[in-house]
Chain A
Amino acid sequence: MFNSNKKLILIDYQNSYFYQQKRKKLRRKYYKIMIIIVFLALLSAVIVPLAQANTDNTERHSQINSTTNGLIHGPQLIFDHPDSSQRVALPVDLNAQVKVSGLVAYVNVTQVFINPYNMTLEGKYQFPLPENAAIKHLKVNVAGTEIIGEIMEKKAAKARYKKAKTQGKKASLVQQQRPNLFTNNIANIPAQSRVVVTLQFIMPVTFDKNQATLKLPLAMTARYHSDNAQPSPAEEDSAIIVPIANALAKSQASINIELNAGVEITNIDSNSHQIKVQQLNHDKSSYLITLAHEQTLANSDFTLSWQLQANEKPQVSSFTEKVADEYFTLLTFFPPQVEATTNTFARDIIFIIDTSGSMQGNSMTQAKASLQQAISQLGKNDSFNIIAFDNSVDLLFPMTNMASDYNIGQAQQFIKNLNADGGTEMYRPLSQALVMARAAQQTQQAIRQVVFITDGAVSNEFELMQLLSGAQQKFRLFTVGIGAAPNGYFMKKAAQFGRGSYVFIQNSADVQRQMSALMAKINHPAISNIELIFDSQVHQEVEVYPKRIADLYLGEPMQIAVKSKLPITSVQVMGNTTTEPWYQQVIIDDSSSAHGISTLWARRKIADLLDTLVTGADKQQVKAQVISTSLAHQTLSPYTSFIAVEKKIVPLPLMAKNSLLSAKSKLTNLAKAHENLMVAMPKTALGWHQQLLIGLLLIMLAPILLCFAARRKSYALKPKS
């Protein structure tokens, strides 16, 4: 009875409204705590790695900065000093002689560095070469020895390299890599001595919107006595060695530029330094430019720009260089500076778009966007067609059709339905495009232009190139590379064979801009079908590069290099403008000699020789020719290397110290200026962590909301008290 009573009460109590509420509250409390804990855990899981990554990043960056000192835009010497792992020294004296011929600059830079420490050190000389520059000559003069850089055949260079390799290569730590950095190791720089480095290289002058710009990476330290706000480490160092610095302080940074633009120019200006300009001849094309007054080049590149005199007709300038009984002539074609006129060539454009599986995702979206963009810019005189291919070929029309509104609408529908799938068979679409019939309404003069949009992931490049080189030269091929890692080499070469150009679009944001730039460009060839006619009697042996002369486009000057046995006095240039045939006789006077033209010619010749490999030339023969050209003109090629070898000038007599020095110098030190290949780096993160976290967050949010819902309900249910 007692028992049962108790039981009854207990059961009663357990199920009573009060207990239910109490339990519910408790449960809810636990629920909330649990959610908060899970939420916090999740948050920390998200934030901690992020924060870590950030600190890691900043640490590494500061490391990088401390080693390279952020002064990479000028020549520098990095000492192997035990104190701080590396000491950066900028030149205390710098002398640059520049000769500009049209759009080529030949630069000779002499730099003086000082080893300010009281011990013999090793150093690493660095020079940031401008893009597309080619080193011609290197000479390092340090403590009675000379290091001379020259171009040698690979085998010979390798042999020497091996001999020197006993010194052992050091593995570098994590550091930022920069392209086109020329480096050379210099061993045994005696205490408080000078290092004189002479470097000669050829660089192109950039040309944009009628303005030519020359940019020399020539930073140097401020004088030790100057009131520079930010003393560089090298400057502090130079204060230590006052005697040597004093001796050098009399000299100063100097830049002499002999500018020969070939055509009339105006507005010579430098926005980095004050300059003095002297006119050298009467036709406003030749000038001597020097720095205005005593000044240093502290921490900034030297830039020089000049404006071409506006002209309605295309202009051709010429320069000659004589190298060992052979004459090298450079013809530079400057397009006319007219606004895009209504006079345009009628065109017969075929777009080929790659829809293979490798284009999937972002690449395909980009390709479609760029194609839409191109289609929308067609004129009424143009005819067009679209070929889409994967392992099969899909045609919009059987032949090219006029760009009427109806046809364009159809094309846009066609593009919308494109899907990336299947393999890559490029041969068929390309061969079809080359022989496709043109629209009946199209005129005979219309230029056949093929615009090829692809990621270039092909394996049969050689077959394709053979197809292109064997085809009739009535077409122009423009390649548009898309995606993270297109096959740039193939596309560049294909465009070259097709006398067109290559555009690489990496960001989807750039598609619109770059594509419309390409379309605008190919819309207005200033002169097409250019031909050169030499006096056949005088010049039996004329070698012209490029062998296939491309069209001249607005805003894009073109250079043609010619080698001849005898000096050329005149060339007749012919071509077609939009309205009429164009003819010009170029009189060449060799009074103004130029530098670096033979190198330019040799570079072109080597490229051309290598291209013949594609069309089945004998490998050994080509190799021999390339090597001989490369050595004769000191230009880098795949079969030659640039190596720097230490040579003793005059062996000083006596002294035990000296014998030690010479023993060390046997360990020749050398560097190779590599021909660099560029790799586009693909996207290498799936990002599934992020997605997973977002998903988990969403899932976590749901119970919180439920909890709120429950609470609201309970409030609503609660009797008013």
Chain B
Amino acid sequence: MLRLIAIVLMLVGIIVCAQASWLPAKAWLSQHLINASWQQAMKGQQLKQAKQQSKSSKPIAIKPWPWADTFPIAALDFQRLDKNIVVLNGGDPTTLAFSAGAVVPFNQTDTNSPFVVAGHRDSHFAFLQDIILKDVISLTNAHGRTQLYQVERIDIVDASAAQLALPADEANLVLITCYPFEGISDNEDERYVITATPL
């Protein structure tokens, strides 16, 4: 009898483990597809610009996989940490499972309003804990233009109490992930908010 229970436990354990490792595996796998579609979009953008000689063309949105509900809209590059990540459109859970996402309606680059990117602290945005003040982040938008930002503030905000207030008229880059980084549950109240101002 005990032996049977033990076997069942073992099996359940293996299933749970497999399921748990599926999440980061999915995150890692999708990165490749997203990267590919981003490169493709960039290439297409270059060709288009070369042809039309005009900068105000509509950005190309290529879905990383045919049934995707989102598309890459920007790429972040952290030079000091040697990390880069492609940002998807939208901040809903489905999108965030695949990569960092730009939270609607702060998903417009090239405007006067902030650009807000959220990501999981235990997959894509795990490296945010290594970011320090004055770090330089470069953001490439869908038009292929690059803008440099410098980290000016790092805040820890209680997300259960209120929404995050952002100055409407500053074109900041805001990165959001869960805090503390060492925590293990998926239901954290605190958020780690990095604010970077354009250089």
Do chains A and B interact in one complex?
yes
Interface residues of B in 13-66 (CB under 8 A from A): 13-21, 23-24, 27
B199 sits at the interface (CB 8 A)? no
Residues of chain A contacted by B157 (CB below 8 angstroms): 176-177, 681
B75 sits at the interface (CB 8 A)? no
Indicate with 1 or 0, residue by residue over B141-161, a CB within 8 angstroms of chain A CB atoms.
000000000001111111100
Instruction: Quote the shortest CB–CB distance from A351 to chain B (angstroms).
Output: 21
A698-B27 contact given A357-B69, A363-B92, CB 8 Å threshold: no
Q: How far is the CA of A482 from the CA of B13 in the complex (A)?
A: 34
Q: How far is the CA of A690 from the CA of B17 in the complex (A)?
A: 10
Establish whether residues B184 and A693, one from each chain, have CB atoms under 8 Å apart when the complex forms.
Answer: yes
| Size band of the interface chain B makes with A | 35 or more
Q: Which residue of A lies closest to B134 (CB)?
A: A171
Establish whether residues B159 and A706, one from each chain, have CB atoms under 8 Å apart when the complex forms.
Answer: no
Interface residues of A in 148-177 (CB under 8 A from B): 154, 169, 171-177
Establish whether residues A688 and B122, one from each chain, have CB atoms under 8 Å apart when the complex forms.
Answer: yes
Option from A49, A177, A677 in Cβ contact (under 8 Å) with B113: A677
Q: Which residue of B lies closest to A673 (CB)?
A: B167
Interface residues of A in 194-222 (CB under 8 A from B): none
A487 sits at the interface (CB 8 A)? yes
Interface residues of A in 169-194 (CB under 8 A from B): 169, 171-180
B106 sits at the interface (CB 8 A)? yes
Establish whether residues B92 and A676, one from each chain, have CB atoms under 8 Å apart when the complex forms.
Answer: no
Interface residues of B in 91-121 (CB under 8 A from A): 91-97, 101, 103-106, 113-114, 116, 118-121
Instruction: Quote the shortest CB–CB distance from B147 to chain A (angstroms).
Output: 19
Q: How far is the CA of A683 from the CA of B96 in the complex (A)?
A: 9
B7 sits at the interface (CB 8 A)? yes
Option from A56, A356, A485, A706 in Cβ contact (under 8 Å) with B91: A485
A703-B6 contact given A681-B176, A684-B191, CB 8 Å threshold: yes
Residues of chain B contacted by A682 (CB below 8 angstroms): 91-93, 96, 101, 103, 118, 176
Residues of chain B contacted by A676 (CB below 8 angstroms): 165-168
Q: Which residue of B lies closest to A678 (CB)?
A: B163
A679-B103 contact given A60-B156, A174-B154, A703-B6, CB 8 Å threshold: yes
B81 sits at the interface (CB 8 A)? no
Establish whether residues A487 and B158, one from each chain, have CB atoms under 8 Å apart when the complex forms.
Answer: no
Residues of chain B contacted by A687 (CB below 8 angstroms): 122, 184-187
A358 sits at the interface (CB 8 A)? yes
A176-B155 contact given A691-B19, A709-B2, CB 8 Å threshold: yes
Residues of chain B contacted by A686 (CB below 8 angstroms): 23-24, 27, 97, 120, 122-123, 186
A681-B122 contact given A690-B185, A695-B13, CB 8 Å threshold: no
A357-B193 contact given A683-B186, A686-B23, CB 8 Å threshold: no
Q: How far is the CA of A483 from the CA of B93 in the complex (A)?
A: 9
| Size band of the interface chain A makes with B | 35 or more
A510 sits at the interface (CB 8 A)? no
Establish whether residues A175 and B92, one from each chain, have CB atoms under 8 Å apart when the complex forms.
Answer: no
Establish whether residues A709 and B182, one from each chain, have CB atoms under 8 Å apart when the complex forms.
Answer: no
* Chain B contact residues, majority secondary structure: mixed
A702 sits at the interface (CB 8 A)? yes
Establish whether residues B165 and A696, one from each chain, have CB atoms under 8 Å apart when the complex forms.
Answer: no
Q: How far is the CA of A457 from the CA of B89 in the complex (A)?
A: 10
Residues of chain B contacted by A693 (CB below 8 angstroms): 184
A323 sits at the interface (CB 8 A)? no
B83 sits at the interface (CB 8 A)? no
A471 sits at the interface (CB 8 A)? no
Establish whether residues B167 and A695, one from each chain, have CB atoms under 8 Å apart when the complex forms.
Answer: no
Indicate with 1 or 0, residue by residue over A385-407, a CB within 8 angstroms of chain B CB atoms.
00000000000000000000000
Option from B13, B122, B125 in Cβ contact (under 8 Å) with A702: B13
Establish whether residues B6 and A695, one from each chain, have CB atoms under 8 Å apart when the complex forms.
Answer: no
Interface residues of A in 662-721 (CB under 8 A from B): 672, 674-703, 705-706, 708-709, 712
Interface residues of A in 98-147 (CB under 8 A from B): none
A242 sits at the interface (CB 8 A)? no
Option from A678, A698, A709 in Cβ contact (under 8 Å) with B10: A698
Residues of chain A contacted by B17 (CB below 8 angstroms): 691-692, 695-696, 699
A641 sits at the interface (CB 8 A)? yes
Interface residues of A in 412-448 (CB under 8 A from B): 422-424
Indicate with 1 or 0, residue by residue over A473-489, a CB within 8 angstroms of chain B CB atoms.
00000000001110101
Residues of chain B contacted by A424 (CB below 8 angstroms): 69
Interface residues of A in 345-384 (CB under 8 A from B): 356-363
Residues of chain B contacted by A455 (CB below 8 angstroms): 92
Residues of chain B contacted by A49 (CB below 8 angstroms): 182, 184
Instruction: Quote the shortest CB–CB distance from A127 to chain B (angstroms).
Output: 15
A456 sits at the interface (CB 8 A)? yes
Q: How far is the CA of A176 from the CA of B123 in the complex (A)?
A: 25
Residues of chain B contacted by A361 (CB below 8 angstroms): 93-94
Q: How far is the CA of A700 from the CA of B156 in the complex (A)?
A: 37
A338 sits at the interface (CB 8 A)? no
Residues of chain B contacted by A487 (CB below 8 angstroms): 104-105
A638 sits at the interface (CB 8 A)? yes
Instruction: Quote the shortest CB–CB distance from B3 to chain A (angstroms).
Output: 5
Establish whether residues A679 and B95, one from each chain, have CB atoms under 8 Å apart when the complex forms.
Answer: no
Residues of chain A contacted by B133 (CB below 8 angstroms): 171
Instruction: Quote the shortest CB–CB distance from A488 to chain B (angstroms).
Output: 8
A695-B20 contact given A53-B180, A423-B69, A674-B169, CB 8 Å threshold: yes
Q: Which residue of A lies closest to B197 (CB)?
A: A169
Instruction: Quote the shortest CB–CB distance from A498 to chain B (angstroms).
Output: 19
A638-B183 contact given A685-B120, A705-B2, CB 8 Å threshold: no
Establish whether residues A56 and B176, one from each chain, have CB atoms under 8 Å apart when the complex forms.
Answer: no
Q: How far is the CA of A522 from the CA of B178 in the complex (A)?
A: 37
A57 sits at the interface (CB 8 A)? yes
Between A and B, 19 residue pairs with Cβ closer than 8 Å are A174-B155, A176-B158, A178-B165, A357-B94, A484-B91, A490-B105, A676-B168, A678-B164, A682-B96, A684-B125, A692-B20, A695-B15, A695-B19, A698-B12, A699-B9, A700-B13, A701-B13, A705-B3, A709-B3
Chain B contact residues, CB within 8 Å of chain A: 2-3, 5-7, 9-10, 12-21, 23-24, 27, 69, 90-97, 101, 103-106, 113-114, 116, 118-123, 125, 133-134, 152-159, 162-170, 174, 176-178, 180, 182-188, 191, 193
For the A-B complex with A174-B155, A676-B166, A699-B13 known, give 9 more contacts whose Cβ atoms are closer than 8 Å: A361-B93, A487-B105, A677-B114, A678-B166, A689-B184, A690-B20, A691-B17, A702-B7, A712-B2
Report, nearest first, the 4 A-B pairs whose CB atoms are least far apart: A687-B186, A698-B13, A695-B17, A695-B16
